[in-house]
Amino acid sequence: MSRGHRPGHRGRGREESSSHPSGDRILVLPGEEVPARGLKPGPGTYRVGGKVYACVLGLLSPAPPVIQVIPLSGRYVPKPGDVVVGTVTDVQGTFWLLDIGAPRWAPLHMTGTPWKIDVGETDRYLHVGDAVVVQVENLDPTGRIGVTMLGEKLGKLEGGTIVRVSPARVPRVVGRGGSMIQSITRLTGAEITIGQNGRIWIDGPPEAIRRASEALRLIEENGHRPGLTDRVEAYLLATTPTDPVDGAPPDASDRPRDPAERDGPSGPEGTAPPFGEP
């Protein structure tokens, strides 16, 4: 059996590859034979005998000289240069371990931060549970993920909420040329940072956070279908910021509350705890 792909080398759908999800791409499942037509087995495929089969659930996409399958689900596959949102899971003497939704935890070394830290003082800067924006720097062959906090718009996150979407949906959240995220920002007033790992940080007034999370949930559930930007815009335009919500001023509480209102953003799941003092 020869394998067409290697660790960290799977063609994750970036913007250009999944902006036309319905196109002429075919949904394939693990174990299904794919028509190779002389192409070599690429990421998401394997070869037995003379035949090529899919090994992940995804969209068949010929990319000469190889044929590949672009996964529609699965964990985040890190790529150097990606900006990701992570949470601290462990604090060591010289580094922190971050959960960035990848198969492994990513070590953030103290030299990769804007702070001047002495060995053993790491816990004065970041604690378990803190949220950060970092950039993937390198991947070693054993799968270790090197990340850095040195760079523009990188650093510790204070306040706000983290919403998770599937990493395969990130290109749809961004939209073509950033159109989707611009719409959401414009129509909700929320400040949004998208991690390539599908973790999205939203800050702003509670109402803005709620509506932005709801828009992201729509994308998460319909991300593989066409016509998404229009639908999300229509949703945001139909629900104006004056709608009654939890956390509205006290005078709103004597109004009968619409039960549907409470199924909004999915409660505590996927949200980060509020951050304490630094």
* Residue numbers at the binding site for other proteins (CB under 8 A): 1, 3, 5-7, 10, 21-22, 25, 27, 29-33, 44, 46, 48, 53, 55-58, 71-75, 103-105, 142-143, 168, 218, 221-222, 224-228, 231, 266, 269
Residue 55 beta carbon to other proteins: minimum distance, rounded to whole angstroms: 4
At closest approach, how far in Å is the CB of 90 from other proteins? 10
Query: Please, what is the minimum distance in Å from the beta carbon of residue 158 to other proteins?
Result: 26
Of the pair 105, 275, the CB lying nearest other proteins is at 105
Q: How far is the CB of 214 from other proteins (least distance, A)?
A: 11
- Of 131 and 232, the one with the shorter C-beta distance to other proteins is 232
C-beta closer to other proteins: residue 53 or 154: 53
Backbone angles phi, psi at 234, to 5 degrees: -60, -40
How far is 234 from 189, CA to CA, in rounded Å? 16
- On whether the CB atoms of residues 136 and 146 are closer than 8 A, the answer is yes
For residues 204 and 214, which CB has a smaller minimum distance to other proteins in the complex?
Answer: 214
Q: 203: helix, coil or strand?
A: strand
> In the bound complex, what is the minimum distance in angstroms from residue 27's beta carbon to other proteins?
6
Quick one: 30 or 80, whose CB is closer to other proteins? 30
Burial class (CB in 10 A: 0-12, 13-18, 19+), 190: buried
Residue placing its CB nearer to other proteins in the complex, 20 or 262: 20
A 10 A CB-CB count for 51 gives 12
- Closest separation between CB of residue 26 and other proteins, Å? 9
What is the Cα–Cα distance from 86 to 90, expressed in whole angstroms?
A: 12
Q: Which of 105, 119, 106 is nearest to 149 (CA)?
A: 106
Q: Let me know: does 43 contact 5? Beta carbons within 8 Å.
A: yes
Please report, to the nearest 10 degrees, the dihedral formed by the alpha carbons of residues 17, 220, 100, 159 taken in order.
130
Task: CB nearer to other proteins: give 124 or 225.
Answer: 225
d(C-alpha 31, C-alpha 90), whole Å: 39
Distances (CA, A) of 41 to 152, 225, 234: 39, 27, 42
Instruction: Tell me how far, at minimum, the Cβ of 71 lies from other proteins, in Å.
Output: 5
Specify the residue, 22 or 179, whose C-beta has the smaller distance to other proteins.
22
Q: How far is the CB of 136 from other proteins (least distance, A)?
A: 17
Distances (CA, A) of 24 to 27, 45, 51, 60, 96: 10, 18, 22, 9, 44
